[in-house]
Amino acid sequence: MVTTDEKGPLTAKKKSVIIRSCDGDEFLVSESAAVLSTSLKKILEEKEDRLIHLSDIDNKTLAMVIAYLSTHADDGLSDDLKRSFDQEFVSGKEFDVLKYLVLATDTLQVTCLCYTVAKKMADIMKNKLVEWVRREFDIQNDYTPEAEAEIRRLDAWAWDDRQLEDD
């Protein structure tokens, strides 16, 4: 997916950037969208080259972030429309996808997208089993069985198994 955002011949001439994902796909982005990311803004201020290579963001995730940035750079859209875009943007996405998205917002320093995604992830994590969390976050349990039993015993009230979900 390639996003172009041309506002006229004058701005288009110098104001666009090419961003390359870790798997080699290239995206053409308007500079006004790119600078909404604090790290891209810094890179653009420092170097003349209009090609940015991101070594830890894959094409799928990058395409999503760019769609987000382009929408938020559009002055023609009202704040309300942008807000409902944000809701649409995260709804229905799998947890795994959100995890890579939130990591990309960290790398690219896009604070408002980070908050939106973090909120969505927290909503999904509600009532989930600890085992589910370990699986989704790829976390190794480093407690001994005794230590884990003890920690669960201390806060027994939070463990109402009837409500907890594993998917």
Partner 1 sequence: MESNKKAAVVVVQLPTEILEEILSRLRVKDLIRFKSVCKTWCQVISSQHLIQQHLNKSVFRAIHYERWVFGPCKSFITPKEKLPRDNLMEFVGSCDGLVCRYNRTQGIIHLSNPAINDDEYKLIIGNTSHMHLIRPYIDNGSWKSTQKIQKTYRYFERIGTLYNGTVHWPVNGSYALSSCTILSYDLQQETIGEIPGPPMIRQTHHSFTIGEVIGCLSAMLLNNKFYEIWVMKEYGIRES
Q: What is the smallest separation between the CB atom of 14 and partner 1, expressed in angstroms?
A: 31
What is the smallest separation between the CB atom of 144 and partner 1, expressed in angstroms?
A: 11
**What is the rounded CA–CA span in Å between residue 107 and residue 103?**
6
The residue type found at 153 is: R
Which C-beta is closer to partner 1: that of 6 or that of 137?
Answer: 137
**64, 96 contact by CB (below 8 A):** no
Closest Cα partner for 61 from 30, 34, 21, 26? 21
Residue 124 and residue 132 in contact, taking contact as beta carbons nearer than 8 Å: no
Residues that bind partner 1 (CB under 8 A): 22-23, 55-61, 96-97, 99-100, 102-103, 106, 114-115, 118-119, 121-123, 125-128, 130, 133-134, 137-143, 148, 151-152, 155, 157-159
Nearer to partner 1, 49 or 106 (CB): 106
Q: Cβ closer to partner 1: 16 or 116?
A: 116
CB of 9 or CB of 145, closer to partner 1: 145
- Strand order across the 16-20 sheet: 26-30, 16-20, 51-53
Minimum gap (Å) between residue 45 Cβ and partner 1: 23
